[in-house]
Amino acid sequence: MSCSWAPGPNAVGRSVFDLQTMLRTISFRHPWLPRLIPDGVFGERTLEAVMLFQRELFPPVTGIVDNAVWDAIVSAYRQCCTALAPPLPCNGYPSRSYTISPGQSCVHLGLIQSMFLGLGCILEGLEKAEVNGTMDDCTVQNIRWIQRLNQAEETGVIDQLVWDTLARLYMLFVTYAQTPRTSRPERFAQ
């Protein structure tokens, strides 16, 4: 990907739009850059952003986007995309038809029990279960708690509905909670 032009009133088009988009993304990681709104026109704010980029990351300051400056902006953009991207999600449940019954042991129960451990510090009604990979009595009680929430038959068997509810609760109350420790600090005391 290469591009070269001198900024001016005639600099418009897709390359300028792409440049503005990259500089905007970089600005989320480097707040000294102006937060451009891409419009495809190389105007005063775009010139300012290019010059600030050159001053801070790729001297000398010329305001001209030649191949070297373009490549430096592309490189910084890619680094920022990686740094700003959310972590990859983890699919912790094998398939829609998979079930785990009381008394069974499997590797997936470690994750499930860990999720219950985290939720048990925040939500009322969950048993403090140990993470052992076995569907023990505490884990069965927690599964039944989930099934009660779903108004489903309380079998103690983990199925897709139980997993979906558990995953949603964990996401809401643990993963995306701003500060789970401040919501119930007494629960986290050692």
Closest by alpha carbon to 43, among 91, 9, 77?
9
pTM of the model: 0.58
Position 104, amino acid: Q
Poorest-pLDDT segment among 27-41, 47-61, 156-170, 173-187: 173-187
Residues 6+ apart with CB under 8 A from 176: none
Mean pLDDT value across the chain: 88
* Helix or strand run (H / E) with residue 170: helix 160-170
What does the pLDDT look like over 41-97, one tens digit per residue? 999 999 999 999 999 999 999 999 999 999 999 999 999 999 998 877 778 888 999
Q: What counts of helices (H) and strands (E) characterise the chain?
A: 7, 0
Q: Under 8 Å CB-to-CB from 10, ≥6 apart: which residues? A: none
Going by pLDDT thresholds of 50, 70 and 90, the confidence category of residue 188 is very low
Nearest one of 153, 41, 149, 163 to 94, comparing CA atoms: 163
CA-based nearest residue to 14, from 40, 51, 42: 40
CA-based diameter of the chain, in Å? 74
